[in-house]
Amino acid sequence: MANNKYSEVLVLKRLANIQRMHDACRQKQDVSKFSNKDKIAYILWKDRYSRNSDIYLSIIFYKKFYPNYVKDDMIKLEDLYNIPKMYDIQRTRAEIQNTEGLFPATDEVREKRAKREAEFSNYYRSKKRKTLKAFPDYYMYLDESGKTDKYFVLAGLLLNGSSNNDAQKLRFNELKKSLNEKHGLTINELKFTEIKQRNLQFYKDIVDNIFNEGIPAVFVSILVENKGLKQKTEKNKARELLEILLKGDLASLIVRSTCSSPHASNKAKVNITVDKDGCGYDAVEREKMRQGIEDELKKSYKYLIQLQTFSDVDSKDDILVQLADLYASSINNVFSKLPDESETAKVKKEFAIYFLEKVGLTKITKEISKSDSKIKFINKVIFTTK
Protein backbone atom coordinates (compact mmCIF):
# COMPACT_ATOMS: atom_id res chain seq x y z
CA MET A 1 0.00 0.00 0.00
CA ALA A 2 1.30 3.43 -0.91
CA ASN A 3 2.38 5.70 1.89
CA ASN A 4 0.26 8.86 1.85
CA LYS A 5 3.18 10.99 3.00
CA TYR A 6 5.81 12.29 0.66
CA SER A 7 8.74 14.67 0.58
CA GLU A 8 8.28 17.77 -1.56
CA VAL A 9 12.06 17.86 -2.00
CA LEU A 10 11.91 14.33 -3.43
CA VAL A 11 9.09 15.30 -5.79
CA LEU A 12 10.97 18.33 -7.12
CA LYS A 13 14.05 16.15 -7.57
CA ARG A 14 11.92 13.72 -9.56
CA LEU A 15 10.78 16.55 -11.85
CA ALA A 16 14.38 17.69 -12.31
CA ASN A 17 15.37 14.13 -13.25
CA ILE A 18 12.60 14.06 -15.86
CA GLN A 19 14.13 17.08 -17.54
CA ARG A 20 17.62 15.57 -17.45
CA MET A 21 16.30 12.32 -18.91
CA HIS A 22 14.51 14.23 -21.66
CA ASP A 23 17.79 15.89 -22.60
CA ALA A 24 19.56 12.53 -22.57
CA CYS A 25 16.88 10.91 -24.76
CA ARG A 26 16.97 13.76 -27.26
CA GLN A 27 20.75 13.48 -27.50
CA LYS A 28 20.56 9.66 -27.66
CA GLN A 29 22.68 9.28 -24.54
CA ASP A 30 22.74 6.39 -22.10
CA VAL A 31 19.86 6.61 -19.60
CA SER A 32 20.72 3.50 -17.58
CA LYS A 33 21.90 5.70 -14.69
CA PHE A 34 18.31 6.76 -14.07
CA SER A 35 16.14 4.62 -11.78
CA ASN A 36 13.13 2.73 -13.09
CA LYS A 37 10.93 5.04 -11.06
CA ASP A 38 12.39 8.05 -12.87
CA LYS A 39 11.89 6.27 -16.20
CA ILE A 40 8.26 5.49 -15.41
CA ALA A 41 7.69 9.06 -14.21
CA TYR A 42 9.21 10.30 -17.48
CA ILE A 43 6.73 8.26 -19.52
CA LEU A 44 3.81 9.45 -17.36
CA TRP A 45 4.93 13.04 -17.94
CA LYS A 46 5.46 12.67 -21.67
CA ASP A 47 2.49 10.48 -22.61
CA ARG A 48 -0.89 11.28 -21.03
CA TYR A 49 -2.41 7.98 -22.18
CA SER A 50 0.07 6.05 -20.05
CA ARG A 51 -1.47 7.58 -16.91
CA ASN A 52 -4.71 5.67 -17.48
CA SER A 53 -3.49 2.22 -18.57
CA ASP A 54 -0.86 0.03 -16.93
CA ILE A 55 -0.70 -2.19 -20.01
CA TYR A 56 -0.04 0.78 -22.30
CA LEU A 57 2.50 2.17 -19.82
CA SER A 58 4.34 -1.17 -19.68
CA ILE A 59 4.46 -1.48 -23.47
CA ILE A 60 5.97 1.99 -23.82
CA PHE A 61 8.37 1.30 -20.93
CA TYR A 62 9.70 -1.94 -22.50
CA LYS A 63 10.01 -0.46 -25.98
CA LYS A 64 11.74 2.66 -24.72
CA PHE A 65 14.12 1.28 -22.11
CA TYR A 66 14.43 -2.45 -22.91
CA PRO A 67 14.34 -2.49 -26.73
CA ASN A 68 16.77 -5.44 -26.96
CA TYR A 69 14.07 -7.71 -25.54
CA VAL A 70 11.31 -6.52 -27.89
CA LYS A 71 11.32 -8.09 -31.36
CA ASP A 72 8.43 -7.41 -33.74
CA ASP A 73 6.33 -6.19 -30.81
CA MET A 74 6.91 -9.48 -28.95
CA ILE A 75 8.86 -10.51 -25.85
CA LYS A 76 10.06 -14.08 -25.37
CA LEU A 77 8.76 -15.82 -22.25
CA GLU A 78 12.26 -16.56 -20.97
CA ASP A 79 13.14 -12.85 -21.28
CA LEU A 80 10.59 -12.05 -18.59
CA TYR A 81 13.36 -12.98 -16.14
CA ASN A 82 15.48 -10.09 -17.45
CA ILE A 83 13.03 -7.20 -17.56
CA PRO A 84 11.02 -5.47 -14.78
CA LYS A 85 7.78 -7.24 -14.00
CA MET A 86 4.59 -5.55 -15.15
CA TYR A 87 3.33 -5.70 -11.56
CA ASP A 88 6.36 -3.68 -10.40
CA ILE A 89 5.68 -1.10 -13.13
CA GLN A 90 2.07 -0.88 -11.96
CA ARG A 91 3.10 -0.53 -8.32
CA THR A 92 5.65 2.17 -9.16
CA ARG A 93 3.07 4.03 -11.24
CA ALA A 94 0.66 3.90 -8.29
CA GLU A 95 3.31 5.28 -5.94
CA ILE A 96 4.15 8.15 -8.31
CA GLN A 97 0.48 9.03 -8.82
CA ASN A 98 -0.83 8.48 -5.29
CA THR A 99 2.07 9.05 -2.93
CA GLU A 100 3.91 11.76 -4.83
CA GLY A 101 0.76 13.14 -6.43
CA LEU A 102 2.29 13.43 -9.90
CA PHE A 103 0.65 12.83 -13.29
CA PRO A 104 -2.64 11.34 -12.04
CA ALA A 105 -5.11 9.49 -14.19
CA THR A 106 -8.51 10.91 -15.13
CA ASP A 107 -11.24 10.98 -12.50
CA GLU A 108 -13.07 8.09 -14.17
CA VAL A 109 -10.01 5.85 -14.19
CA ARG A 110 -9.14 6.74 -10.59
CA GLU A 111 -12.65 5.84 -9.48
CA LYS A 112 -12.43 2.45 -11.17
CA ARG A 113 -9.03 1.78 -9.69
CA ALA A 114 -10.20 2.84 -6.25
CA LYS A 115 -12.92 0.23 -6.28
CA ARG A 116 -10.58 -2.64 -7.03
CA GLU A 117 -7.35 -1.54 -5.36
CA ALA A 118 -7.27 -0.83 -1.64
CA GLU A 119 -4.10 1.26 -1.98
CA PHE A 120 -6.11 4.08 -3.52
CA SER A 121 -8.47 4.45 -0.56
CA ASN A 122 -6.05 6.61 1.40
CA TYR A 123 -5.92 9.08 -1.48
CA TYR A 124 -9.68 9.63 -1.43
CA ARG A 125 -9.96 9.81 2.36
CA SER A 126 -7.21 12.41 2.60
CA LYS A 127 -8.33 14.44 -0.44
CA LYS A 128 -8.43 18.14 0.50
CA ARG A 129 -9.64 21.30 -1.19
CA LYS A 130 -6.81 22.79 -3.24
CA THR A 131 -6.21 26.49 -3.65
CA LEU A 132 -5.30 26.00 -7.29
CA LYS A 133 -7.25 23.61 -9.53
CA ALA A 134 -4.06 22.82 -11.44
CA PHE A 135 -5.20 23.49 -14.98
CA PRO A 136 -2.23 24.01 -17.30
CA ASP A 137 -2.63 27.79 -17.67
CA TYR A 138 -1.81 30.29 -14.92
CA TYR A 139 -2.60 34.00 -14.75
CA MET A 140 -0.65 36.38 -12.53
CA TYR A 141 -1.73 39.98 -11.89
CA LEU A 142 0.86 42.32 -10.38
CA ASP A 143 1.32 45.91 -9.28
CA GLU A 144 4.12 47.91 -7.70
CA SER A 145 4.26 50.13 -4.65
CA GLY A 146 6.85 52.00 -2.61
CA LYS A 147 9.32 53.37 -5.14
CA THR A 148 10.37 56.11 -2.69
CA ASP A 149 9.53 54.36 0.60
CA LYS A 150 11.56 51.97 2.75
CA TYR A 151 10.54 48.96 0.66
CA PHE A 152 9.78 48.50 -3.01
CA VAL A 153 6.95 45.97 -3.36
CA LEU A 154 5.86 43.82 -6.30
CA ALA A 155 2.72 41.88 -5.42
CA GLY A 156 -0.54 40.46 -6.65
CA LEU A 157 -2.54 37.30 -7.34
CA LEU A 158 -1.93 34.00 -9.13
CA LEU A 159 -5.03 32.33 -10.57
CA ASN A 160 -5.41 29.07 -12.42
CA GLY A 161 -7.35 28.25 -15.59
CA SER A 162 -8.78 30.63 -18.21
CA SER A 163 -12.42 29.88 -17.41
CA ASN A 164 -11.81 30.35 -13.70
CA ASN A 165 -9.88 33.52 -14.44
CA ASP A 166 -12.81 34.98 -16.40
CA ALA A 167 -15.26 33.88 -13.70
CA GLN A 168 -13.31 35.76 -11.01
CA LYS A 169 -13.23 38.94 -13.11
CA LEU A 170 -17.01 38.73 -13.55
CA ARG A 171 -17.47 38.00 -9.86
CA PHE A 172 -15.53 41.00 -8.61
CA ASN A 173 -17.01 43.39 -11.16
CA GLU A 174 -20.49 42.32 -10.05
CA LEU A 175 -19.43 42.60 -6.39
CA LYS A 176 -18.11 46.12 -6.98
CA LYS A 177 -21.44 47.09 -8.54
CA SER A 178 -23.53 45.66 -5.69
CA LEU A 179 -21.33 47.23 -2.99
CA ASN A 180 -21.60 50.62 -4.69
CA GLU A 181 -25.37 50.30 -4.44
CA LYS A 182 -25.18 49.11 -0.83
CA HIS A 183 -22.99 51.99 0.33
CA GLY A 184 -24.35 54.68 -2.00
CA LEU A 185 -21.00 55.09 -3.80
CA THR A 186 -19.81 55.35 -7.40
CA ILE A 187 -16.40 53.67 -7.23
CA ASN A 188 -15.32 52.63 -10.73
CA GLU A 189 -11.78 51.51 -9.94
CA LEU A 190 -10.40 49.94 -6.77
CA LYS A 191 -7.43 52.05 -5.71
CA PHE A 192 -5.59 52.07 -2.41
CA THR A 193 -4.88 55.80 -2.75
CA GLU A 194 -8.64 56.48 -2.87
CA ILE A 195 -9.47 54.77 0.42
CA LYS A 196 -11.12 57.21 2.84
CA GLN A 197 -13.32 57.01 5.89
CA ARG A 198 -16.52 57.26 3.83
CA ASN A 199 -15.63 54.24 1.66
CA LEU A 200 -13.57 52.17 4.13
CA GLN A 201 -16.37 49.67 4.73
CA PHE A 202 -16.78 49.23 0.96
CA TYR A 203 -13.13 48.14 0.69
CA LYS A 204 -13.36 45.93 3.77
CA ASP A 205 -16.41 44.25 2.23
CA ILE A 206 -14.31 43.48 -0.85
CA VAL A 207 -11.69 41.81 1.35
CA ASP A 208 -14.34 39.95 3.37
CA ASN A 209 -15.82 38.54 0.19
CA ILE A 210 -12.42 37.24 -0.93
CA PHE A 211 -11.98 35.24 2.25
CA ASN A 212 -15.58 34.39 3.16
CA GLU A 213 -16.54 33.17 -0.30
CA GLY A 214 -13.07 31.93 -1.18
CA ILE A 215 -10.96 32.53 -4.24
CA PRO A 216 -8.87 29.85 -5.97
CA ALA A 217 -5.74 31.96 -5.95
CA VAL A 218 -2.36 32.38 -4.31
CA PHE A 219 -1.23 35.79 -3.05
CA VAL A 220 2.31 36.52 -4.18
CA SER A 221 4.70 39.26 -3.10
CA ILE A 222 8.37 40.18 -3.08
CA LEU A 223 9.96 43.19 -1.33
CA VAL A 224 13.38 44.78 -1.38
CA GLU A 225 14.81 47.61 0.68
CA ASN A 226 15.29 50.67 -1.51
CA LYS A 227 18.25 51.86 0.54
CA GLY A 228 21.60 50.68 -0.75
CA LEU A 229 20.51 49.60 -4.23
CA LYS A 230 22.83 50.40 -7.12
CA GLN A 231 21.61 52.51 -10.02
CA LYS A 232 21.22 49.52 -12.38
CA THR A 233 19.18 47.57 -9.86
CA GLU A 234 17.14 50.67 -9.03
CA LYS A 235 16.12 50.98 -12.67
CA ASN A 236 15.26 47.30 -13.18
CA LYS A 237 13.75 46.43 -9.80
CA ALA A 238 10.43 45.11 -11.10
CA ARG A 239 12.03 42.83 -13.68
CA GLU A 240 14.72 41.46 -11.39
CA LEU A 241 12.35 40.91 -8.47
CA LEU A 242 9.90 39.04 -10.67
CA GLU A 243 12.71 36.85 -11.99
CA ILE A 244 13.80 36.07 -8.41
CA LEU A 245 10.24 35.28 -7.37
CA LEU A 246 9.58 33.03 -10.35
CA LYS A 247 12.73 30.96 -10.11
CA GLY A 248 12.04 30.22 -6.46
CA ASP A 249 8.96 28.91 -4.69
CA LEU A 250 6.48 30.30 -7.22
CA ALA A 251 7.72 28.30 -10.22
CA SER A 252 7.95 25.19 -8.04
CA LEU A 253 4.34 25.69 -6.93
CA ILE A 254 3.11 26.08 -10.51
CA VAL A 255 5.04 23.07 -11.80
CA ARG A 256 4.04 20.94 -8.81
CA SER A 257 0.35 21.86 -9.22
CA THR A 258 0.39 21.21 -12.96
CA CYS A 259 2.04 17.81 -12.60
CA SER A 260 -0.52 16.88 -9.93
CA SER A 261 -3.56 17.36 -12.15
CA PRO A 262 -5.36 15.04 -14.57
CA HIS A 263 -6.49 18.18 -16.44
CA ALA A 264 -2.99 19.40 -17.26
CA SER A 265 -0.63 18.60 -20.09
CA ASN A 266 3.10 18.16 -19.45
CA LYS A 267 3.88 21.89 -19.44
CA ALA A 268 2.46 24.79 -17.43
CA LYS A 269 1.78 28.04 -19.30
CA VAL A 270 2.17 31.30 -17.37
CA ASN A 271 0.47 34.56 -18.33
CA ILE A 272 1.60 37.74 -16.52
CA THR A 273 -0.28 41.04 -16.47
CA VAL A 274 1.11 44.17 -14.80
CA ASP A 275 -0.28 47.65 -14.25
CA LYS A 276 0.86 49.86 -17.12
CA ASP A 277 0.82 53.00 -14.99
CA GLY A 278 2.74 51.37 -12.15
CA CYS A 279 5.50 49.73 -14.15
CA GLY A 280 6.66 52.90 -15.91
CA TYR A 281 8.69 51.30 -18.72
CA ASP A 282 8.47 51.54 -22.50
CA ALA A 283 7.96 48.84 -25.14
CA VAL A 284 11.66 47.97 -25.36
CA GLU A 285 12.03 47.61 -21.60
CA ARG A 286 8.85 45.51 -21.49
CA GLU A 287 10.28 43.14 -24.10
CA LYS A 288 13.55 42.87 -22.16
CA MET A 289 11.52 42.08 -19.06
CA ARG A 290 9.57 39.38 -20.91
CA GLN A 291 12.78 37.81 -22.23
CA GLY A 292 14.42 37.91 -18.80
CA ILE A 293 11.48 36.14 -17.18
CA GLU A 294 11.34 33.56 -19.96
CA ASP A 295 15.06 32.83 -19.57
CA GLU A 296 14.77 32.38 -15.80
CA LEU A 297 11.90 29.93 -16.17
CA LYS A 298 13.86 27.90 -18.71
CA LYS A 299 16.84 27.63 -16.38
CA SER A 300 14.86 25.80 -13.71
CA TYR A 301 12.02 24.05 -15.55
CA LYS A 302 12.70 24.33 -19.27
CA TYR A 303 10.43 21.41 -20.20
CA LEU A 304 7.82 21.88 -17.51
CA ILE A 305 6.89 25.56 -17.65
CA GLN A 306 6.84 28.40 -20.18
CA LEU A 307 5.92 32.07 -20.31
CA GLN A 308 2.86 32.31 -22.54
CA THR A 309 2.16 36.06 -22.42
CA PHE A 310 3.51 39.14 -20.69
CA SER A 311 1.43 42.31 -20.98
CA ASP A 312 0.72 45.61 -19.29
CA VAL A 313 -2.78 47.06 -19.02
CA ASP A 314 -4.49 50.15 -17.70
CA SER A 315 -5.62 49.13 -14.23
CA LYS A 316 -9.06 50.68 -14.72
CA ASP A 317 -9.72 48.00 -17.35
CA ASP A 318 -8.83 44.98 -15.18
CA ILE A 319 -10.40 44.31 -11.79
CA LEU A 320 -7.71 41.74 -10.87
CA VAL A 321 -4.92 44.28 -11.41
CA GLN A 322 -6.93 46.56 -9.12
CA LEU A 323 -6.91 43.86 -6.44
CA ALA A 324 -3.13 43.58 -6.95
CA ASP A 325 -2.90 47.33 -6.27
CA LEU A 326 -4.74 46.91 -2.96
CA TYR A 327 -2.46 44.04 -1.92
CA ALA A 328 0.85 45.62 -2.97
CA SER A 329 -0.04 48.98 -1.41
CA SER A 330 -1.16 47.32 1.83
CA ILE A 331 2.16 45.48 2.13
CA ASN A 332 4.10 48.68 1.52
CA ASN A 333 1.97 50.67 3.95
CA VAL A 334 2.45 48.19 6.79
CA PHE A 335 6.07 47.11 6.35
CA SER A 336 7.48 50.46 5.17
CA LYS A 337 5.68 51.87 8.23
CA LEU A 338 4.19 54.78 6.33
CA PRO A 339 3.13 57.64 8.63
CA ASP A 340 -0.50 57.77 9.74
CA GLU A 341 -0.69 61.29 11.16
CA SER A 342 -3.78 62.41 9.20
CA GLU A 343 -7.23 60.83 9.46
CA THR A 344 -7.05 59.59 5.86
CA ALA A 345 -3.63 58.02 6.49
CA LYS A 346 -5.01 56.26 9.57
CA VAL A 347 -7.87 54.83 7.51
CA LYS A 348 -5.44 53.51 4.89
CA LYS A 349 -3.33 51.94 7.62
CA GLU A 350 -6.43 50.33 9.13
CA PHE A 351 -7.39 48.81 5.80
CA ALA A 352 -3.83 47.61 5.08
CA ILE A 353 -3.58 45.81 8.41
CA TYR A 354 -7.07 44.36 7.92
CA PHE A 355 -6.16 42.96 4.49
CA LEU A 356 -2.80 41.45 5.50
CA GLU A 357 -4.23 39.84 8.63
CA LYS A 358 -6.86 38.15 6.48
CA VAL A 359 -4.12 36.82 4.19
CA GLY A 360 -2.01 35.72 7.14
CA LEU A 361 1.00 37.84 6.23
CA THR A 362 1.60 39.28 9.68
CA LYS A 363 5.42 39.34 9.67
CA ILE A 364 7.67 40.56 6.87
CA THR A 365 9.90 37.50 7.30
CA LYS A 366 6.95 35.13 6.92
CA GLU A 367 7.53 33.63 3.48
CA ILE A 368 4.90 30.99 2.91
CA SER A 369 1.53 30.05 4.41
CA LYS A 370 1.09 26.90 6.45
CA SER A 371 0.20 23.82 4.42
CA ASP A 372 -3.13 23.41 6.21
CA SER A 373 -4.17 27.03 5.68
CA LYS A 374 -7.09 27.74 3.34
CA ILE A 375 -5.32 30.91 2.21
CA LYS A 376 -2.06 30.46 0.35
CA PHE A 377 0.61 33.11 -0.03
CA ILE A 378 4.22 33.32 -1.10
CA ASN A 379 6.20 36.26 0.24
CA LYS A 380 9.89 36.98 -0.12
CA VAL A 381 11.90 39.88 1.28
CA ILE A 382 15.41 40.98 0.30
CA PHE A 383 17.32 43.01 2.86
CA THR A 384 20.07 45.29 1.58
CA THR A 385 21.24 46.56 4.95
CA LYS A 386 22.27 44.82 8.16
Query: Residue ranges of the domains in the chain?
Result: 8-125, 137-382
194-252 pLDDT per residue, tens: 999 999 999 999 999 988 887 788 999 999 999 888 877 767 788 888 888 887 788 88
What pLDDT was estimated at residue 264? Answer: 61
Question: pLDDT category, 302, cuts 50, 70, 90?
Answer: confident
Residue 287 has pLDDT above 90, yes or no: no
Predicted TM-score of the model (pTM)? 0.77
Pairing relation of β-strands 217-225 and 151-160? antiparallel
Residue 12 to residues 47, 131, 255, 345, Cα–Cα distance (Å): 19, 19, 9, 44
What pLDDT was estimated at residue 365? Answer: 92
How far is 365 from 143, CA to CA, in rounded Å? Answer: 20
8-31 pLDDT per residue, tens: 888 889 999 999 999 999 999 999
Q: Which string of DSSP letters, residue by residue, matches 168-214?
A: HHHHHHHHHHHHHHHHT----S--GGG--GGGHHHHHHHHHHHHHH-
Comparing 74-83, 137-146, 179-188, 265-274, the range with the smallest average pLDDT is 265-274
What pLDDT was estimated at residue 297? Answer: 82
Under CATH, what is the fold of the domain 137-382? Answer: Nucleotidyltransferase; domain 5 (3.30.420)
> Which residues contact residue 222 at a Cβ distance below 8 angstroms, ignoring those fewer than 6 apart?
153, 154, 155, 241, 242, 244, 245, 379, 380, 381, 382
